[in-house]
Structure 1
C-alpha cells in the first residue's frame, strides 16, 4: 500500500470513528466500508513502473504512472513492470572455442522492458529468461570464434552478442542496450605457451631488423671502399680527419705510423699542419699547453711541383702546433729550423 492510499484509508477510518463516538452507527459503518474498498482499489504507479491489469481474467490494460482505480475482486494486477535499464551478469565456464581451447568468459548485459504487456503475458519470468538466453548465446559465440579473435577483438564479440540476444528477446518486449565481456580466462599452461610464443615472435622481429641494418651497413661500407679505392686522396683526407677529431680531446696521445706520413703528399701535409695549428691555438687558449717539439719533415717519394717556401711554412706550423699540444712534457727534440721561416719567395721547382 502506497503512502497516499494509506493516508486516505486512515482519514476515512478516523471519520467513521468520529461518527461512532457520536452514536451514529450507520455513517460510521459506511466510512469504514469505503476505507476498506479504497485500500484495495486505489493504486499508484511510479514514473518507471507499469501495472498490467486483468478484469475477469482478460487483459484490461496497462496502468501508470500515477494514481488509478481498480474494482476489487473483479480486477487484478498481475504484474508490476520496471522499465528502467537493468543489468544481468552471466558467464560461460569451460566453453570450447573454435580451435578447441577451454575458456571461462564473464560478461554483463544491459537491457530494459519496452513493452510491459508482452513482458507480463508472453513469458513467465522475463528476468530469468534473458539471463538464460544470454548464457546460451555466449557459448554459441565462443564456439564459433577463434581464441585469438576472442582475445584481441572484444568489441566485435560484444556487438555480435548484443545482436543475437536482442533478436531472441524482442518478442518478449525486451530491448538489449549493450553487452560487455568483462574477462576471458584461459588455462595457466596455455598462458605460459602464449607468453613464450610472443617472446619468440618479438625476438624474431628484432633479429630481422638487426640483420637488415647490418646488410645496409655492409652495402654502405662496400660503396665507401670502392670510392676510396678509386680516389686514394679521399682515404688520406679521411685519415687526417680522424686524427683531427681525436686531437680535440685533451691529454690524447697519437702514434702515427711512418708509412702513413710517407704516403702523404705535400698538400696533405700542409692540410694536416693547418689543422694541427688550429687545434694548438684552441688548446693554448683553454689550457695553456706549452712545450717544444721538432718540426716534422714530410718525405716526398714522387715528383711533384711544389713551392719550397710553402712546404717549409707548413712544416714549421705543424711543429709548433704539435709542440703546444704536449702538456708538461719536460723535454724537447732537436729542430731543423727553430726560427720563424722567411717570407715565401713564391718560387717552385721540380723535386726529384
Structure 2
C-alpha cells in the first residue's frame, strides 16, 4: 500500500474512532437529552444538533487536528477555502461564476447607478473603485488557470457595465498586476503596499480632484495575525505546524500637518473634516491593518472620512451611508469613493443586505 493511500485511509479511521469515543463520553455525561415529544414535529433533530454542538468533548481541538491532517495528507480544507500551490489559500467565493449570480450583474450595476444619481442630487460625485480578485492577481499560486481567467473576465465585464451606465470608475487591475503578491498568502485581503498602489491610481485617474493638505506618515506597531482563510483549514494554534504561518504587517496613519492660518494662528486640524472626501466599502477599507484610507489621504492630499464596514460586503455600507446623509447626520462630501471587490458580485446576499440596511 502506498503512503498516500495509507494517509487517506487514516483520516476516516481517526474520524470514526473519535466519533465512537465522543458519543460514549456524551451518553455517560450529565447532559440533558432531547425532548422526544418533538419527534414527529422534527424539533428533536434540532435539539440533538444543539446538544452535540454545545457538548461534544474536545470539539475545537478535534476539528483543528482533523483539519491539519486533511491539509497535510490531501492538500484540502473545508468548504469555504480552495488550497493553491505552496500553501496559498483562496476563498471559494472567487470560484463562483458570475453567470450564476442570483441577482445578476445588471441589477448590481443598476443599483450603483441609482446611488450615483442619489449622491449627485445631494451634491456629491461618486467614483467606484473595483478591486480584482486574489484568484486573478495570484493566478500562479492558484493551480488552475481557468477560474483565474473567468474572474478576470468578470472584472472586465463589471468595468464595461459601469462605464455603459455612466458611472465613473478607476481601473485598479493594471497597477495591482505589476506588484508581486499584492495579496496575503493566507488571507483574502490586500497588502498595505497594494492598497497604496490603488490609492495612487485613484489620484492619477483624473476622476478625483487633488487637494492641498499635508500629512505626516506615522507608522504603527507591527502586527502579526492569522489569515482569515486559515480557519477553513485548521485552528490558529496548529496552523504554523502545517506551514500556514502568521502574516505580518506594519499599518500606518496619515496625520494632518498643522498649518498657519491667515491670522498667524495654527490650524491643528489641517483643513478639518469640512470638505473631506468619503470612503465607503468593505474590510479592504475598514480594517486599519491595510491603511487604505490613510493611503488615499496621502495620494489625494485631502482628508478622507472612512465609512467602510467589515463583514457586510460593499453594498450594505453604502446603503447605511446614504441613510445617514438622508437623515442629515452627516455632511455631504464633494466626492464619495466606493471600494468594490469583484468577488462580491456573486454573493447571493449582496442586494439583500442593502435592503436590510435601508429598512433599518
Q: Looking at both structures, which has the greater relative contact order when contacts are Cα pairs under 8 Å and sequence separation is at least 6?
A: 2
More strand by share: 1
Instruction: State the TM-score, normalizing by the size of structure 2.
Output: 0.18
TM-score, normalised relative to structure 1: 0.18
Highest Rg: 1 or 2?
1
